[in-house]
Chains A and B, each alone.
Chain A
Amino acid sequence: MPGDNADAAGKRREVLDEYESFIGRKIFFISSFILLTVLLCGISISLGPLKFSVLEVYATIFDKLFPNFFDVPELAPIVVWNIRLTRVVMGVLAGIGLAVAGAAMQGILRNPLASPFTLGISAGAGLGAALAIIAGVGIGGGGKLLLVGNAFLFSLIPSFVIVGLTRYKRATPETMILAGIAMTYIFSAISSLLHYFSDSDALKDVVVWLMGDLGKATWGDIYIVTIALVICIPLLIWKSWDLNVMGSGDEAAKSLGINVERTRIFVMMIASLIAAVIICFTGMIGFIGLVAPHMTRICIGGDNRFVIPASGLLGAAFLVAADIIAREAMAPVIIPVGIVTSCVGGPVFLYFIMRKKKEYW
């Protein structure tokens, strides 16, 4: 019998070792995602039509923190702080937010197709923006506030409808996804109708908005997005253990004492809020909410406690990289970054799916 015990202990140690090495692998990936993001931000900030040296760029950044200590070239404060940094910072925030929202939605709905796009959140924001630009109707006064306020309000409608529907019918992942797809179609159709009857100037603004762009971000926008992320992401990470349990099925989760429906609605609302706050400032940047969580799962497995933060980091790296391409590919013409994320993200995603050896989902 002692031999059996030793065997069992050995096996346990083996399992523990494997678990630890698995955790180590996750930590390795997460740190490399952080490094990648930092590196890409560093590259992005030093690129642009005005040829400042890397040193001058960083001198300009630190000059704000330690005034009169560095030699800052003319125009550099405006260019670096208002133009380049806002792009990069908004890119990081939007990448994090969209990817985290996508990861949480996929987790909660146990469906690899869930993302801010497939759940109608983007289409809702698109309709809100189109209404503001073309018809000039909506909340928030006028100009940008109208646009952002309207996009935000409309992007929340799908979540409310989905949650409302699922109150009467049980909140199963399938009904939620189907309701989201239905909302997407309805909103897109109304937007198209509006585009059709709008004059060319308004249409141009809508098209630019729909393609998604980081260049419109100002520091004020960045503060708002930061606050939203700082509040919402910890809430999602806090719920990620419940998500893991729910991954093995509603019944199993219920038997472990989780209020499945309430958790699902809560996580949906928080994820929608994150997506809405970002989309209303950047326009529609597609594919990140879908690609980043999947690539993360391929790399580190399906434990939501890690998937949610790691997806965020990968999303940030991905969006900043896409923005570099958007700015440099046809310089000085800037391609809307949403086009790049879809063009580049699609093939990269396909490659990852083809290459994976085992079922990761």
Chain B
Amino acid sequence: MKGLIFALVIIACHSLNVTPIMASDYTLKIFGNANMDDTIDEDDIVYVERIIDGTNEVTELADANYDGKVDKDDITHIELIIRGEEKELTLIDMADRIVTIPRPIERVVAPSVAIMRMVIQCGGVDKLVGVSAYIDKYADNMVCVAAYPELKELPFVGYEGQENYELMVSLKPDVIFTSSSYADQTQETTCIPVVSISIPSFYEAGSFEAYRLVSRIMGTEEMVEELISYADEKFDEVTDITSQIPDDEKPGVYFCHAQGATDITRAVVKYDPLDMAGGVNVADELWNGVGSTVVDISKEQVIKWNPDIIMLHGFGKTHESFSIESVLEDPDLQSVNAIKNRNIYYTKGWYIGWDPATGVAETFYMAKIFHPDEFEDLNVEEEGNKILERFYGIEDLYTWILNNSDYVRWDL
């Protein structure tokens, strides 16, 4: 009997032990991370010493100075990386390309709005020297431009995939971030290191991997690790409450994508903030795990789903294609619960792409709409301002959003 208990204790201890390792299965893909964990530290030096004396197998990232062999020079290079004094750093980017970048990074070009936002949130707004031409068009609707109006004054290097290479070269950046499939050509043509970043489209496991890579390159990894934990905690704050709510008490929500649509027939089939805020996405049955998150459906389908709440994606004070009013007046939809009870609201969604900062704030916003009783004491504006300040370093950004949109504003 004693033996059995002992065995159980061993098993219990073992499983406790395993969990944290599973949680940090992120590998920092920088040459010098010889033991393939999530950081470069003294352990990597020990690991390389053991590779040299033959005890350890050579790992993919052991060749710190990327000269094709693992030797004493790599230990020197790892020591430099740990002290932050290395002159260059070789890494594997998110398109599995091996890129060598100079250190430290002082000048950055980001022709993608999403990556530009990432650079800003990773504390690199001062290092941006060229941005997307997108800003030219949408400056008035962008949170990051509201936070840093000086972005409008930076040279526009074109649209991603269609950049003005000559202009990019003239800005003499240390690194170019891109999400297009043309990373190799861009690097070959401009002779500037190009790091390929895949942009997450919503909150999911690994969605901050891009942040980890960008911040490591910018040298702000400690700050960004804290930011990631903060975002996770904030999401947890909502889900701790919404996960207690039984599914049959959660409202059915139809999230309608407005871009390129003339009526409410573009369904968003997957949007994490909606689920985390305690809603049931009525279009969830159309989500197959990959591919497009926006699907065209018929009005008949909306009537069949009969959602309790409709969220319209968008921003701004003008609603060109359709508005809450026009949907409410649609004679075809009068049988739908959300229309009968006038439960229809605007929300940001993917307007100008997924931004975890506004995504966290939006989760609180939707939670209060979906479950007014559970979130009675929640002050969305105050919470939103705090969240956006944490990400952008600027006060009152959520108030700016409210002033420039028709989102719900609760009087307290």
A→B interface (CB under 8 Å):
48-50, 75, 78-79, 82-84, 86, 133, 142-144, 147, 196-201, 204-205, 208, 213, 215-216, 218, 331-334, 336
The secondary structure that dominates the B interface is loop
A198 CB contacts on chain B under 8 angstroms: 291-292
Chain B nearest Cβ from A74, distance in angstroms: 9
A196 CB contacts on chain B under 8 angstroms: 292
Cβ A201 vs Cβ B179 within 8 A: yes
State in angstroms the CA–CA spacing of A205 and B161 once bound together. 7
State in angstroms the CA–CA spacing of A86 and B199 once bound together. 30
Cβ B95 vs Cβ A143 within 8 A: yes
Given A82-B190, A83-B165, also A332-B184 (CB < 8 A): no
Given contacts A143-B181, A332-B158, 12 further A-B pairs with CB under 8 A are: A49-B164, A49-B170, A79-B169, A82-B190, A86-B189, A133-B181, A144-B185, A199-B291, A218-B185, A332-B133, A333-B156, A334-B158
Given A199-B293, A204-B161, A213-B162, also A82-B191 (CB < 8 A): yes
Say yes or no for B400: interface residue by CB 8 A criterion: no
Given A143-B95, A205-B180, also A83-B190 (CB < 8 A): yes
Cross-chain contact of B169 among A75, A197, A331 (Cβ < 8 A): A75
Q: Report the nearest A residue to B96, measured CB to CB.
A: A142
Say yes or no for B160: interface residue by CB 8 A criterion: yes
Q: Report the nearest B residue to A147, measured CB to CB.
A: B181
Chain A nearest Cβ from B196, distance in angstroms: 9
Cβ B182 vs Cβ A332 within 8 A: no
- Chain B 291-334 interface 0/1 with A at a Cβ cutoff of 8 Å (1 = within): 11100000000000000000000000000000000000000000
Chain B nearest Cβ from A44, distance in angstroms: 12
Cβ B185 vs Cβ A50 within 8 A: no
Cβ A215 vs Cβ B292 within 8 A: no
Given A78-B191, A199-B291, A333-B156, also A216-B185 (CB < 8 A): yes
Say yes or no for B277: interface residue by CB 8 A criterion: no
Q: Report the nearest B residue to A133, measured CB to CB.
A: B181
A50 CB contacts on chain B under 8 angstroms: 166-167, 169-170
State in angstroms the CA–CA spacing of A49 and B163 once bound together. 12
Say yes or no for B219: interface residue by CB 8 A criterion: no
A197 CB contacts on chain B under 8 angstroms: 291-292
Given A133-B181, A144-B185, A196-B292, also A332-B190 (CB < 8 A): no
Say yes or no for B104: interface residue by CB 8 A criterion: no
Cβ A82 vs Cβ B189 within 8 A: yes
Cβ B188 vs Cβ A218 within 8 A: yes
Q: Report the nearest A residue to B199, measured CB to CB.
A: A201
Chain B nearest Cβ from A134, distance in angstroms: 9
Say yes or no for B102: interface residue by CB 8 A criterion: no
B169 CB contacts on chain A under 8 angstroms: 50, 75, 78-79, 83
B158 CB contacts on chain A under 8 angstroms: 332-334
Q: Which 3 A-B pairs have the closest CB atoms?
A: A208-B161, A49-B167, A332-B164
Given A86-B189, A205-B180, also A215-B165 (CB < 8 A): yes
Chain B nearest Cβ from A83, distance in angstroms: 5
State in angstroms the CA–CA spacing of A215 and B293 once bound together. 31
Say yes or no for B251: interface residue by CB 8 A criterion: no
State in angstroms the CA–CA spacing of A288 and B286 once bound together. 43
A200 CB contacts on chain B under 8 angstroms: 201
State in angstroms the CA–CA spacing of A54 and B56 once bound together. 59
A332 CB contacts on chain B under 8 angstroms: 133, 155-158, 164, 167
Q: Report the nearest B residue to A87, measured CB to CB.
A: B165
A78 CB contacts on chain B under 8 angstroms: 169, 190-191
Say yes or no for B271: interface residue by CB 8 A criterion: no
Say yes or no for B375: interface residue by CB 8 A criterion: no
Cβ A79 vs Cβ B185 within 8 A: no
Chain B nearest Cβ from A310, distance in angstroms: 32
Cβ B292 vs Cβ A83 within 8 A: no
State in angstroms the CA–CA spacing of A215 and B158 once bound together. 12
Say yes or no for B159: interface residue by CB 8 A criterion: yes
29 A-B interface contacts by CB (under 8 A): A48-B166, A49-B164, A50-B170, A75-B169, A75-B172, A78-B191, A79-B166, A82-B189, A83-B190, A142-B96, A143-B183, A144-B181, A197-B292, A199-B293, A201-B198, A201-B201, A204-B160, A204-B161, A205-B180, A205-B182, A208-B180, A215-B162, A215-B163, A332-B133, A332-B167, A333-B162, A334-B162, A334-B163, A334-B164
Q: Report the nearest A residue to B196, measured CB to CB.
A: A143
B161 CB contacts on chain A under 8 angstroms: 204-205, 208
Cβ A144 vs Cβ B164 within 8 A: no
Chain B nearest Cβ from A260, distance in angstroms: 43
State in angstroms the CA–CA spacing of A110 and B291 once bound together. 45
Cβ A49 vs Cβ B181 within 8 A: no
Chain A nearest Cβ from B200, distance in angstroms: 10
State in angstroms the CA–CA spacing of A194 and B157 once bound together. 29
Chain A nearest Cβ from B351, distance in angstroms: 13
A208 CB contacts on chain B under 8 angstroms: 161-162, 180
Cβ A333 vs Cβ B164 within 8 A: yes
B163 CB contacts on chain A under 8 angstroms: 215, 334
Cross-chain contact of B181 among A75, A205, A215, A218 (Cβ < 8 A): A205
Q: Report the nearest A residue to B172, measured CB to CB.
A: A75
Cβ A199 vs Cβ B166 within 8 A: no
State in angstroms the CA–CA spacing of A286 and B354 once bound together. 35
State in angstroms the CA–CA spacing of A48 and B170 once bound together. 11
Chain A nearest Cβ from B260, distance in angstroms: 11
State in angstroms the CA–CA spacing of A290 and B349 once bound together. 45
Q: Report the nearest A residue to B259, measured CB to CB.
A: A200
Name the interface residues of B255-284: CB closer than 8 Å to any CB of A: none
B160 CB contacts on chain A under 8 angstroms: 204
Name the interface residues of B82-100: CB closer than 8 Å to any CB of A: 95-97
Cross-chain contact of B188 among A75, A82, A199, A205 (Cβ < 8 A): A82
Chain B nearest Cβ from A87, distance in angstroms: 9
Chain B nearest Cβ from A85, distance in angstroms: 11
State in angstroms the CA–CA spacing of A84 and B96 once bound together. 29
Q: Report the nearest B residue to A216, measured CB to CB.
A: B185
B95 CB contacts on chain A under 8 angstroms: 143
B293 CB contacts on chain A under 8 angstroms: 199
A204 CB contacts on chain B under 8 angstroms: 160-161, 180
B97 CB contacts on chain A under 8 angstroms: 143
State in angstroms the CA–CA spacing of A216 and B158 once bound together. 14
Chain A nearest Cβ from B54, distance in angstroms: 34
Cβ A333 vs Cβ B133 within 8 A: yes
Chain A nearest Cβ from B158, distance in angstroms: 5
Chain A nearest Cβ from B181, distance in angstroms: 5
